[in-house]
Structure 1
Amino acid sequence: MEIKRTVSKTPKIRLERIENNDMIYIYEWFKDIEFLKFYDYMPPIPQSGDEVDKTFRSYEKNDESDVFAIKLADINQIIGVAGFDDIVKENRVATLFIGIGDKNVRGRGYGKEALNLLLEHGFNQLDFHRIQLNVLEFNTAAISLYEKAGFEREGTYREFVLRDNKRYDLLLYGLLKSEWKKR
Structure 2
Amino acid sequence: MLVKDLLKGSKITLTSFKDTHLPSLEKWYNDIYFLRNFDMIPAFPKNAQELSSAVNDTRRSSDKCIFAINYTEDEKIIGITGFENILWNNGTATVYIGIGEKKYRGCGVGSESLYLTMEFGFEELNLHRIQLTVISYNKPAIGLYEKLGFKKEGTYRQFIYRDGIRYDMYLYGILRSEWETNIKGGTISK
Whether TM exceeds 0.5 here: the answer is yes
Mapped contact 2:6–2:119 kept (Cα < 8 A): no
Letter of the 2:101 partner, please give it: D
1:58: Cα distance to partner? Answer: 1.0
1:56 maps to what in 2? 55
Alignment of 1:61-80 (within 5 A): 61-80=60-79
Correspondence 1:60-139 to 2 at 5 A: 60-139=59-138
Runs of 4 or more, structure 1, over 4 Å off, are: none
Q: Distance in 2 between matches of 1:182 and 1:116?
A: 14
CA distance in 2, matches of 1:149, 1:101: 20
Q: How far does the alpha carbon of each residue in 1:78-131 deviate from its partner, in whole angstroms, 9 at most, with x for none?
A: 000001011111111000000000011111100000011011100001100000
Whether the 8 Å contact between 1:7 and 1:17 is mirrored in structure 2 is no
Secondary structure in structure 1 of the residue aligned to 2:137: coil
Q: CA deviation at 1:57?
A: 1.1
Whether the 8 Å CA contact 2:16–2:68 is kept in 1: the answer is yes
Structure 2 SS opposite 1:53: helix
Shift of 1:32: 1.1
Name the aligned partner's letter for residue 98 of structure 1. Answer: I
**Pair 1:147 & 2:146 matched:** yes
Q: In angstroms, what is the RMSD of aligned CA positions?
A: 1.1
Aligned pair count? 178
Unaligned ranges ≥5, structure 1: 1-5
Amino acid at match of 1:148: K
Q: Secondary structure at the match of 1:8?
A: coil
> Aligned equivalents of 1:160 and 1:50: distance in 2?
30
Conserved? CA contact 1:159–1:167, under 8 Å: yes
Q: Does 1:10 align with 2:13?
A: no
Q: Counterpart of 1:77 in structure 2: which amino acid?
A: K
Partner of 2:169: 170
Kept in 2, the 8 Å contact 1:7–1:14? The answer is no
Gap runs ≥5 in structure 2: 183-190
- Cα deviation for residue 7 of structure 1 reads 5.9
Q: Deviations over 1:145-183 (max 9, x none)?
A: 101111111111111111111111110000000010000
8 Å Cα contact 1:151/1:175 also seen in 2: yes
Letter in 2 for 1:164: D
Q: Aligned to 1:58, what secondary structure does the other structure show? A: helix
